[in-house]
Amino acid sequence: MSLLFIAPDRDLSSWESAIQDIDPNIEIDIWPAIKDKERVQFAVCWNHPQHLLDGFPNLKAVSSLGAGADHLLSDESLPESVDICRVVSPSLVQQMKEYILAAVLNIQRNFVQYIRQNDQRKWQPHNHPSPQELQVGVMGLGELGKPTAKQLAQLGYEVSGWSRSAKEIEGVTTFAKTEELHPFLNNTHILICLLPLTEETKGILNLDIFKQIDERGWIINAARGEHLVDEDLIYALDSNILQGAWLDVFSEEPLPDKHAFWNRNNVIITPHVASITKPDEVADQIVENYKRALSGLELNHKVNRELGY
């Protein structure tokens, strides 16, 4: 039986080494070099080609290479009989906390403006608010959102959080469900999206949302590109409904050269680097779930297809 890796345009040699360091007896295939499709019973994927996984007749389970599983859930050809799981790593949480804090600090202290001023050799100080004067809203209070919101609150920011179900977080004012979205957004200066991508959250960062936050507002999206309606963001920025956007994820990656986000002073772009899975940290999880799948046991970190995470 074999374990298959599918991650186009990625060097997977470090993943292969990490798996074999744990169990050298595991047979590994790396797509598209597959010895025997019938031997594949477990696949590990990231942005795999759609309508590929139904070509493995004995596939029992598939794991995401990262914390998100929407790329698997959106593949309509993936048989219902195939279980889906994901990896969970403390490093992913820490990296996300660092990324969001860096973005918030850069926005708060006007570093974005200062960097732009460097290009013009322009010396111009700007006043900046204290953390207590900034209302930060975190959309999504799961394994990434909850610790991120908690860290910001501990640093003195006024933090609110919104999620699908009610949560309690020390120092954070929490809201839940659609009916509490408007009061959550009220007076928000920095809106952070860390939601899972589901049918309900797709396109949630739209013009209606932008109009409800503070006119000096920024959005930070480090969840999924499909959360954002690109055209609505461009309109909001051009109409001064928003002051700026800090984006790590996009509907199409890499971001096309001619996309309207490029060369805009009020859009900061990073190439999907907020939280990167490290092979040596999660290889043991992949091996464990591979063996569980072969034995017919319940997978760890199993994804609920109905909830979308």
* Structural domains of the chain ordered from first start: 2-89+278-295 (3.40.50.720), 90-269 (3.40.50.720)
Among 55, 108, 111, which Cα is nearest to 78's? 55
Three-state SS letters, 96-143 = HHHHHHHHHHHHHCCHHHHHHHHHHCCCCCCCCCCHHHCEEEEECCCC
- Quick check: 215 pLDDT over 90? no
Exposure string (b/e) for 79-95, b if CB count within 10 Å is 16 or more? eeebbbbbbbbeebbeb
Residue 36 CB burial class (10 angstroms; 0-12, 13-18, ≥19): exposed
137/270 Cα distance (integer angstroms)? 21
> Nearest-CA neighbor of 51 among 32, 73, 77, 71?
77
Cα 163 from chain centre: 15
- Mean pLDDT over 235-250 rounds to 97
Give the per-residue pLDDT at 222: 98
- Categorize the per-residue pLDDT at 66 as very low, low, confident or very high, splitting at 50, 70 and 90: confident
In terms of Cβ atoms closer than 10 Å to its own Cβ (0-12, 13-18, 19+), residue 132 is exposed
Cα separation, 94 vs 268, whole angstroms: 21
Lowest mean pLDDT across 2-11, 53-62, 238-247, 300-309: 300-309
C-beta contacts of 13-20 below 8 A and 24+ residues apart: 14/279, 15/44, 15/65, 15/279, 15/283, 17/279, 18/279, 18/280, 18/283, 19/283, 19/286, 19/287
Return the pLDDT at 135: 97
135 with 189: CB under 8 angstroms?
yes
Indicate the SS3 state at residue 247.
strand
In which band, very low, low, confident or very high, does the pLDDT at 303 lie, cut at 50, 70 and 90? very high
pTM: 0.90
Residues with active-site annotation: 224, 272
Per-residue pLDDT band for 9 (boundaries 50, 70, 90) equals: confident
pLDDT grade for 8, boundaries at 50, 70 and 90: very high
Sign, Cα dihedral of 241, 188, 222, 210: negative
What would the two tokens of residue 153 be?
């609150």
Confidence of residue 309 (pLDDT cuts 50, 70, 90): confident
C-beta of residue 59 within 8 angstroms of C-beta of residue 82: yes
Share of the chain above pLDDT 90, in %: 90
**Which residue type does 69 have?**
A
Residue type, 93: V
